[in-house]
Structure 1
Amino acid sequence: MPLTDIAIRNAKPRDKQYKLADSGGLYLLITPPGGKLWRLKFRVSGRERKLAIGSYPEIGLSEARKRRDEARESLAMGKDPAREKQRDKIRARLQAENTFAGIAAEYCEKRKRDGHKAWAPATAVRSEYLVGLLNKSIGHMPISEIEPADVLAAIRKVEAKGNLESARRMQQLASAVFRHAVATARLASDPTRDLRGALTAPKVTHYAAITDPKGVGDLLRAIDGYEGQGITKFALQLAPHVFVRPGELRHAEWAEIDFEATVWAIPASRTKMRRVHHVPLSRQAVELLQQVHAITGPSGYVFPSLRTRLRPMSENTLNAGLRRLGYASDEMTAHGFRAMASTLLNESGKWSPDAIERALAHGESNKVRAAYHRGAHWNERVDMAQWWSDHLDMLRDGAEILPFQRKPAQG
């Protein structure tokens, strides 16, 4: 006889569990503690199986019968309802795990240890910060449910603050995360592909740099007269001679400096092109490094943080030093030493453009050509490094250049 709501409500627990049958294999299991659990008994290939439907009163009689009928429809189609339920649980768990935040974290970890393509530490920090901004809006969402409008709304919050470059980078990172999900069979396609052109393009700006000879001489004399922290002064003095990227200079370690061979080998993990960059050291560069070695050597960072030798100099230190000397951010930057060298070395006409490009560690798309240039231009680069340092000394000491007049510090 089919069950009724009154019979279910009046069912009392006993010393042992017992069943109240409904129909079509559905029954209610009454447990000694008083639990009332819906179960469905069925057969698959002659073997008896059971399906847990839920508990009463959370699932009422009519809902239990509805789920019984759905399970029997699955049986009619040759499916095992119990196994389908297990699969649904797995799919739900995977969907919960495969949130944007989870897959983004997985992608970031992959990029940090991605062989020669691995992110530099600074890039990793910046990228994880921007992913964190995305996570505030879409991090909790299953990646398969995210639509273009969701991503755009998250990025617009950053764009609205005028951070156009950050917004552009966020869109690139979001797309990379989605493509990673596609590649790992957790998503059908990248929803950001339709967002191209949706953001305001940031204005391309170049790092401010002094590139006229007289201005260079003024700057070098200003640096020699720097009255701030001694380590900062040494870094500012070395920067024009080696003209590496500021991050590479700040993270320099004594283990990378070979005084005997007069070479600084920057490891691939810290270079933009993800390959070892050898920097020939001029006599002047070696002398500066020897002075620093007496202070911060023989191990660890060449230019450590003022607070702890376990960390490198802050990324703002060099630019702050230039501001202290009176150079505004639109006049000279730490990155500007590279443009200074590139401009004056090319204008000298003494060195091949390829040797200058290699010295700047710019990328070469042709791998065979890149390998050739590494070897073919080394001797020229060694000569160029010494000529450049001598030229900087001449600009600093040149009789035709008036003594430097210190600018007042801004702010």
Structure 2
Amino acid sequence: MALSDVAIRNAKPREKPYKMGDSLGLFLLVQPSGGKLWRLKYRVDGREKKLGLGNYPETGLGDARRRRDEARSLLAVGKDPSRERQREKAQSRLEAANTFGAIADEYCRKRRRDGDRAWAMATATRSEYLLSQLGISIGRVPVAEIGPADILAAVRKIEDKGNLESARRTLQLASSVFRYAVATARLLSDPTRDLRGALLTPKVTHYGAITDPRRAGELLHAIDGYEGHGVTKMALQIAPHVFVRPGELRQAQWGEIDLGAALWTIPAEKMKMRKAHHVPLSRQSVELFKSLQSLTGTSGYAFPSIRTRRRPMSDNTLNAALRRLGYSGDEMTAHGFRAMASTLLNEAGIWTPDAIERALAHGDSDKVRAAYHRGAHWKERVKMAQWWSDHLDGLRKEAAAARR
């Protein structure tokens, strides 16, 4: 006899569990505690099995019958409802683990140690920060449930703040995360593939740089008169001589600098091209580093943060110092010392372009050619480093004389 809501509500607990049958294998199991559990009895391959369909009253009689019918539909096509439920639970757990945030973290860890393709420290930090901006919108959503509209809405929050380049780069990084999910069999396709052209195109800007010899001398003279933090002044004085990237300079550690050998070896993990870079130090550079040691010691960061020696100086410190000296961002930036060196060294007509490129640590796609150039141009680079420092001294002295 089929059950009714009245009969279910009036069912009282007994000393032992007992069943109240409905139809087509559905029954209610009444527990001594008073709990009422829906169960479906069925057979698969001659074996009797039971499937839980919920608790009463959370699951009413109508819902229990609907779930029974769904289970019987699976049986009709040769599927075991219990096994299908286990698969659904496993899939749910898998999807919960495969959120965008989880896969983005996994992708970033991979890129940090990805052999020759591994991110430089600064690139890793920047990329992880940009991806974290998507965390609020899609970080906890399984990648399989994220569509193009979800990604576009998340990235446009960055664009709406006027950060056009950050928005563009974030979309690129999101695409890399989705493609990694595809490659690791957790996603069928990259949902960002149809978003090309959806964002505003940022205006291409170049680092402010002084490349006129007279103005370069005036800048060097101005740096000598800088009255701010001593370590910042030393960084400004050293930067034009070594013309490494600002991040490589501020993250320099004394263990990388051999003043006796006049050599600074920047490890691969700190380099944009993920290859160790050897910087020959002129006599002037060595003396400047020795002066710096009197301020920061001989271990740890050569240019520590003003707040703690456990971190390097801020990435905005040198640019802020240049602003303090009166140079706008369009005139001169910390990165501009590289353009200054590149322009004036090439204009000198003394040094081979390959030697200058090696000094700037620009990559060479031909690994054999790159290895050859590294050895062939080292002696020229050592001479060039000394010539360059002497030339900078001359420009600075001319600027000082012109001001008298």
Instruction: Say if 2:172 is the partner of 1:158.
Output: no
Q: Is the 8 A contact 2:234 2:292 kept in 1?
A: yes
Alignment gaps of 5+ in structure 2: none
Q: How does 1:163-202 map to 2 (within 5 A)?
A: 163-202=163-202
Offset of residue 269 of structure 1: 0.8
- The 3-state SS of whatever aligns with 1:62 is helix
Q: Distance in 2 between matches of 1:13 and 1:93?
A: 36
Q: Distance in 1 between matches of 2:95 and 2:110?
A: 21
TM-score calculated relative to the size of structure 2 = 0.96
Q: Percent of aligned positions with the same letter in both sequences?
A: 71
**Residue identity opposite 1:92 in structure 2:** S
**Residue identity opposite 1:140 in structure 2:** R
Instruction: Tell me the residue number matched to 2:204.
Output: 204
Instruction: Tell me the residue number matched to 1:407.
Output: none
Q: Is the 8 A contact 1:116 1:268 kept in 2?
A: no
Q: Is the 8 A contact 1:218 1:403 kept in 2?
A: no
Aligned CA RMSD, in angstroms, stands at 1.5
Offset of residue 86 of structure 1: 0.6
Q: Is the 8 A contact 2:246 2:335 kept in 1?
A: yes
Judge which range, 249-258 or 63-72, deviates more: 63-72
Q: How does 1:220-369 map to 2 (within 5 A)?
A: 220-369=220-369
Offset of residue 266 of structure 1: 0.3
- The 3-state SS of whatever aligns with 1:199 is coil
Listed one character per residue, the Cα deviations across residues 356-376 of structure 1 (whole Å, up to 9, x for unaligned) are 111101111112211111111
- The 3-state SS of whatever aligns with 1:32 is coil
**Could you say if the C-alpha distance between residues 206 and 399 of structure 1 is closer, same or farther in structure 2, counting changes exceeding 3 Å?**
closer
Q: Distance in 2 between matches of 1:138 and 1:400?
A: 57
- The 3-state SS of whatever aligns with 2:369 is helix
Q: Distance in 1 between matches of 2:399 and 2:9?
A: 105
Q: Is the 8 A contact 2:217 2:399 kept in 1?
A: no
Listed one character per residue, the Cα deviations across residues 125-147 of structure 1 (whole Å, up to 9, x for unaligned) are 32222222212222232211111
Judge which range, 13-22 or 274-283, deviates more: 13-22
TM-score calculated relative to the size of structure 1 = 0.95
**Residue identity opposite 1:88 in structure 2:** E
Judge which range, 68-77 or 199-208, deviates more: 68-77
Q: Distance in 2 between matches of 1:374 and 1:399?
A: 35
Offset of residue 324 of structure 1: 1.4
Offset of residue 233 of structure 1: 1.0
Instruction: Tell me the residue number matched to 2:76.
Output: 76
Instruction: Tell me the residue number matched to 1:408.
Output: none
Q: Distance in 2 between matches of 1:105 and 1:228?
A: 39
Instruction: Tell me the residue number matched to 1:22.
Output: 22
Q: Is the 8 A contact 2:301 2:312 kept in 1?
A: yes
Instruction: Tell me the residue number matched to 1:409.
Output: none
- The 3-state SS of whatever aligns with 2:27 is strand
Q: Distance in 2 between matches of 1:158 and 1:300?
A: 36
**Residue identity opposite 2:136 in structure 1:** K
Alignment gaps of 5+ in structure 1: 405-411
Judge which range, 111-120 or 31-40, deviates more: 111-120
Divergent runs of 4+, >4 A: none
**Residue identity opposite 2:147 in structure 1:** E
